Amino acid sequence: MTRLVFILTVLLFGLVFLSLSLGAQSIGLADWLAALIGQGDPVDRIVLWQIRLPRSLLALVVGAGLGASGAALQGLLRNPLADPAVVGVSSSASLMAALMIYSGWASTMPWAISVAAMVGAAVAALFLLALSAARASATGLILGGVALSSLATALTALLMNLSPNPWALSEIAYWLMGSVADRSLSDVMLAAPLTALGIIVLVRAGRGLDLLTLGEDTAMVSGFSVVRTGRLVVLGTMLCVGAGVAVAGAVGFVGLAAPHLVRPFLGHQPGRLVFPSALVGGALLLVADMVSRGLSGPGTQLYLGVVTALLGAPLFLFLIWRYQREHL
């Protein structure tokens, strides 16, 4: 595991540097290095530090939070198809954030979106936990999550339908497509600590998640509190997804994909997957953001959430197909 974490960390550094060197403004290597250490052309410095760096760091942070949440949710719900977006955590967070934009509170209170997104994420995660406590089957849980997701999406559509002015409507619409473009370092400062805290909480749930492999009875007799493990995952998911949605809008499927990419290397123990999934999630979103930039032409911006959904939906179908084949 240590080796994989090391390799992934190196990969992440590489991707961040690659991401920093790509963009509309072409900067030569020497100028780029000079700008990176705060020297050289002031325009290059602004491009690098105020446009590209926040964007790359946010992709990394948001992706890491989604990857860790996906791994922990899959472990808690004992279902390889769980993902913050699929089971309605992201859409509930989005609904609450859209409500803040709709009501205008987002413009008067800068923290309103973050808090609202986290509340939305927590309510959804608690709902899933209650479903799993009621001994819903793996399919039942996913279906419950899908129903929750549909409800949140419908309510968000209702908000857009009733939006008081075109500005609020377009604001919600763009925001729902998910993006890390045009963000500032203050967004990074908001999301990074919350996400880091969330990942720590999720990693701490690891042993409990491992024991849940054998079901709740065995975990309980082994001295592990199933309730505590559930709470840790809800809290961690709330922090990671809430913070992620607050700064980047709705970005799906990273949480689904990341653990599946780690499993061939580390096996299926859910607890061991959490941290490496965070690293892979960060890498995935960095790549997706570079793809979205690469495909965006002058005047047309391709949103990050659109790219992850386009890449993620086929993956989801593939996983369902494989899952069905293994369990029938």
Partner 1 sequence: MLKIKQLSLKLSDRPVLQQISLQMASGLNVIVGPNGSGKTSLLRCIAGLLPVEQGEVLWRGESLSATPVQERAKLLSYLAQNPPVHWPITARALVELGRLNPRESQQQADQAIDRAMGLCLVSQFADRRMDQLSGGERARVLLARALAVEADLLLVDEPNAALDPAQQLAMMQILANQGKAGKTVLCVLHDLPLASRFADHLIVLQGGRLVVEGKPETVLPGPELRAAFGLAFDAKGHFV
Binding site for partner 1 (CB under 8 A): 78, 207, 210-215, 217-218, 220-225, 267-270, 326
Residue 85 has phi, psi (to 5 degrees) of: -80, -45
Q: Which is nearer to partner 1, 77 or 257 (CB)?
A: 77
Q: Which is nearer to partner 1, 153 or 269 (CB)?
A: 269
Distance of closest approach, residue 83 Cβ to partner 1, in angstroms: 16
Distance of closest approach, residue 195 Cβ to partner 1, in angstroms: 25
Q: Which is nearer to partner 1, 105 or 323 (CB)?
A: 323
Distance of closest approach, residue 265 Cβ to partner 1, in angstroms: 14
Q: Which two tokens stand for residue 144?
A: 């419950």
Q: Which of 173, 196, 254 is nearest to 61 (CA)?
A: 196
Q: Which is nearer to partner 1, 136 or 185 (CB)?
A: 136
Q: Which of 186, 308, 312, 162 is nearest to 249 (CA)?
A: 308
Q: Which two tokens stand for residue 214?
A: 């054998």
Residue 203 one-letter amino acid: V
Residues in CB range of 246: below 8 A, 6 or more apart: 93, 97, 113, 114, 117, 118, 190, 191
Distance of closest approach, residue 204 Cβ to partner 1, in angstroms: 11
Q: Which is nearer to partner 1, 24 or 328 (CB)?
A: 328
3-class SS string, 108-139:
HCCCHHHHHHHHHHHHHHHHHHHHHHCCCCHH
- CB–CB of 128/145 below 8 Å? yes
